Structure formats: C-alpha cells, structure tokens
Amino acid sequence: MPKVLDVRGKFCPVPVMETAKAITQIEIGDVLEVLATDPAADPDIKAWAKRMGHEVISSEKLPDGTLKIVVKRLK
C-alpha cells in the first residue's frame, strides 16, 4: 500500500516541497502517491524527481481533475 500525499488545493511550490519531505518518510524502493490539483505539480515533481535521483512511475489525470503522480524512492 503506497503512502499517499494529498496536496490538492495547494499551489507551487508547496506540492514539490511536501513531496520532498514525504519521500524521506518512506523506505528506499517504496512508492509515494501524490494527489495534486496544481497543473504545475506534474512538471515540477518530474523535474524534482529527476534532479534528486528518484523515478516517476506514472502520472495521470483522474476524472475529477486531480493529478495522481507516483514517485519511487531510489535513494
């Protein structure tokens, strides 16, 4: 069961900052599911993950408009 970070209703830079904080609370190899409504969260989290050495496994827009971004902690 992945850890879920709900940052819906929050705007840049909060989703990335909260993702960076939450990723340290899971084990290496585990995934973090981020739920966001800020359109900038998708490219921002992807850029952050690449820079920090983590992997974005998936990114999708749910029917209600929420972005669901799944990040795997690699280090």
- For residue 73, indicate whether it is catalytic: no
Write the CA distances from 66 to 9, 27, 73, integer angstroms. Answer: 10, 25, 22
Query: Angle 56-10-66 (CA atoms, 0-180°, nearest 5)?
Result: 55
* Strand, helix or coil for residue 52: helix
Whether the CB-CB separation of 45 and 11 falls below 8 Å is answered with no
Catalytic-role residue among 6, 11, 12, 50: 12
| Catalytic machinery residues | 12
